[in-house]
Amino acid sequence: MLAVDVSNWLRPDAVTSPGRLFCHTYGRGKGQAQMIPGWPYSFVAALEPGRTSWTQVLDAVRLGPADDATAVTADQLRQLIDRLIRVGHWRPGDPDILIVCDTGYDTARLAWVLSDLPVLLVGRIRSDRVLRFPKPARQPGAIGRPRKHGPEFACNDPATWPTPQHTTLTPTSRYGTAQADSWDQLHPRLTRRTCWIDHDGDLPIIAGTLIRLQVEHLPGERDPKPVWLWCSAIGATAADVDRWWQTFLRRFDLEHTFRLFKQTLGWTRPKIRTTEAADRWTWLIIAAYTQLRLARPLAADLRRPWERPAPPERLTSARVRRGFRNIRATSALPAGVPKPGRPGPGRPPGSTNRRPAPRHDVGKTVKRAPSITAHKEREG
């Protein structure tokens, strides 16, 4: 099980740092979303079963001003899955690799681009999305252009919902009873004015399974809203639907990893100017986190007075980080002791900087054509 998500390294005051984009961040109040300049990084991590705050970060790529986020994520997943197959973590006959993502990803496009790989995508969609059923059979003697799409399915209009193929009720310890309804053979209606403007031939029909997940209660919410999921597989059973939405809930474990990166390991602490240094520091943080993950069975529980005791296999990443210093004292050190060094002299006091660093604009550098005609003229 793999999860993809984007975490932002905010750099609002770094006017001399290139490659910054406007990153979407949430404020403290409701509806206080902001766009702050920074470096967005796309992470791919392996998920563990059960309730845990641990993940295994496998890859990280920085999104640049000229990059398409979906295309970069597709290439990132393709290279990663090729490496997993090459080292034998997936063999022919094994179940497909399950990839979960949140609302910001175009799940249908990822499923189309990665259709030649043994993957299965489950993504969250907006609650106001409109999908289509397969086209009905053409009646004898009908005239006119054949239909390409069937009736509409509006997520916010229950009148358009037919009877679901599967309905399951699963008792949970935190959310009460979780009800999952699923509908088969639903696809989004694609248009040329989006990322499919360069597609040759007719636009494809990317059919999948739509899932509506409703729970009884959530922490801090009296009337929780349903969660809509779309899976790239069709002909699913009730057991498949339950496995998909439960795997999607495991995607939120990656949020704990991002919090540890920023608050404990200091991922966004350095004031780095160049993007190359930021990429190297990001991989150093991933390597340090991997060491903590491998040290889980060796760390002792140095808990705070207000924390509950936990067995060694249930220690969180912060507790393992707290006891890592005791592991280092008793473990073998293959590297030598670092030699002390002196900092460079730097610029003499009182002298002016005669070579000021260049300043860079924030935002995308590739603009999309306003129409199909303008796009063809630009390409021609």
Write the pLDDT tens digit of every residue in 45-71.
999 887 788 999 999 999 999 888 889
Structure tokens at 70: 């979906």
Quote the pLDDT of residue 30.
Answer: 65
93: left (phi over 0), alpha (psi -120 to 50) or beta: left
Q: Please, what's the b/e burial string for 105-120 (b: 16 or more CB within 10 A of its CB; e: otherwise)? A: bbbbbbbbbbeebbbb
Question: Residue 281 in contact with residue 267, Cβ under 8 Å?
Answer: yes
- Taking alpha carbons only, the member of 257, 284, 322, 288 closest to residue 47 is 257
Q: What is the largest CA-CA distance in the chain?
A: 90
260 vs 27, higher pLDDT: 260
192 vs 231, higher pLDDT: 231
Question: How far is residue 191 CA from its own chain's centroid?
Answer: 24
Cα distances (angstroms) measured from residue 337 to each of 327, 333, 334, 340: 17, 9, 10, 9
Quote the pLDDT of residue 376.
Answer: 67
The dihedral through the CA atoms of 213, 214, 216, 218 has a sign that is positive
Residue showing tokens 């920023």: 262
End-to-end alpha-carbon separation of the chain, Å? 43
* Mean pLDDT, residues 231-248: 93
- DSSP structure class, residue 155: T
CA pair distance 279, 369, nearest whole angstrom: 31
The proportion of the chain whose per-residue pLDDT surpasses 70, expressed as a percent, equals 96
The dihedral through the CA atoms of 216, 220, 222, 227 has a sign that is negative
Domains parsed from the chain with CATH numbers:
2-136+147-260 (3.90.350)
- DSSP structure class, residue 142: -
- DSSP structure class, residue 331: S
DSSP-H helix ranges across the chain: 69-86, 107-113, 238-249, 253-263, 275-294, 317-330, 372-379
Structure tokens at 208: 């999948």
Tell me the average pLDDT of the chain: 88
The amino acid present at 206, given as its one-letter code, is I
Question: Residue 190 in contact with residue 204, Cβ under 8 Å?
Answer: yes
Length of the chain equals 380
As beta bridge partners, residue 43 has: 5, 60
Residue 380 scores a pLDDT above 70? no
CA pair distance 80, 348, nearest whole angstrom: 48
- Taking alpha carbons only, the member of 37, 36, 35, 34 closest to residue 17 is 37
Structure tokens at 363: 């935002």
Q: Phi then psi for 375, rounded to 5 degrees?
A: -65, -40
Quote the pLDDT of residue 31.
Answer: 66
Structure tokens at 371: 């129409």
Residue 370 scores a pLDDT above 70? no
Please tell me which of 21-35, 122-136, 186-200, 325-339 the model is most confident about, judged by mean pLDDT.
122-136
Quote the pLDDT of residue 75.
Answer: 95
